Structure 1
Amino acid sequence: MKEALQGDCTRYAPGIEILSVRVTKPTIPESIRRNYEQMEEERTKVLISIEKQKVAEKEAETQKKMAVSEAEKAATVSKIMMEQKLMEKESSRRQQEIENQMYSAREKSLADSDFYRVMKEAEANKLKLTPEFLELRFIEAIADNTKIFFGDKVPNMVLDQRLLGNFIQNMSNQVHG
C-alpha cells in the first residue's frame, strides 16, 4: 500500500515522501455490522438462487436435446423399417411377376404344342380320307356289327357291292367337295 501511495504522490505531488503507512482496524457499530452481514447473506442467497435457476435451465435444455435426439432416432429407425418393408414388398412383387411370366410362357407353349398336334392330326386325317381307306372302315364297321342268326327265318339284309360303292362315292364327294 505504501508503494502505491508513493507512486501517486511522486506523479501528482513531487517532493512528498511517504515513510510508513499504518492501518488500524475500525470499530464498526453492532447494528451496521448486522445490517452488512444480512445484506451479504441476502446477496449470497440471490446468487445461489440465480445459479440454481441456471442449473435448472441447463438441465431442461439438456432434457429437451435428449428428447429431440430420441425422437430423431425413432424417426430414423421407423424410416429405415418402412424402407425395408417397401423393398421386401417390391421384391415379392417382382418375384410374382417373374412367376406369372413363367406360367404364361409355359401355358402358351402348351397351347401352341396342342394346336400343332391337332393341326398335324387334322392333316393326317385328311390324307387318310381316300376311297380305299373309307371302304376299309365301312367294311370293318359292318363286320363288327354283324350278327349271326340261327334258325328258319333269316333277316333280310343285302350287302350289295352297289350299296358299298354308293356309300364310298358319297363320302369321297363330301371330302373333296
Structure 2
Amino acid sequence: MRELKDYAARRLMVMAPGLFVQAVRVTNRLAEAIGHNYEQMEAEKGAETERKKAIIEDELKAQVAATMHKQVTSYSAEETDFQLQPIHITFNFCKVISQSSEKAKADTEFYRAQREAEANQLLLTP
C-alpha cells in the first residue's frame, strides 16, 4: 500500500507540481450475497417510490376532478347571476336617476324658499 502511495505521488509531481497524495484507499469486493441483497433493497426502494408517485398522481387527479365539478356546479349559479345582472343594473340606474331627480327638486324648492325668505326680510325691514 505504501508503494502505491509513493508511485502515485511521484507521478502526480510530474503531471501536476504542487499537488500531493494524502492517502490511498483500497476497497475489497463485496460478497455476492451482500451485493444481491443490496440490489434487491434498491429494487424495493424503486418500487416504493413508484407506488408513492402513483398515489400522489391519483390524489392530484381526484383534486382536479373535484375542482372541475365544483366549477361546473357553480357555473350555473354564476350564469344565472350574470343573466340577472343587466336587470339589476337597469333597476339600480333607474333608482339613482329617480333619487337624483328628487334631490334636484328638493334643492330647487329649498333654494326658492330661501330666496323668498330673504326677499320678505328685506321688504319687512324698515
With a CA cutoff of 8 Å and minimum separation of 6, indicate the structure with the bigger relative contact order. 1
- TM-score scaled by length of structure 2: 0.45
More helix by share: 2
- TM-score scaled by length of structure 1: 0.35
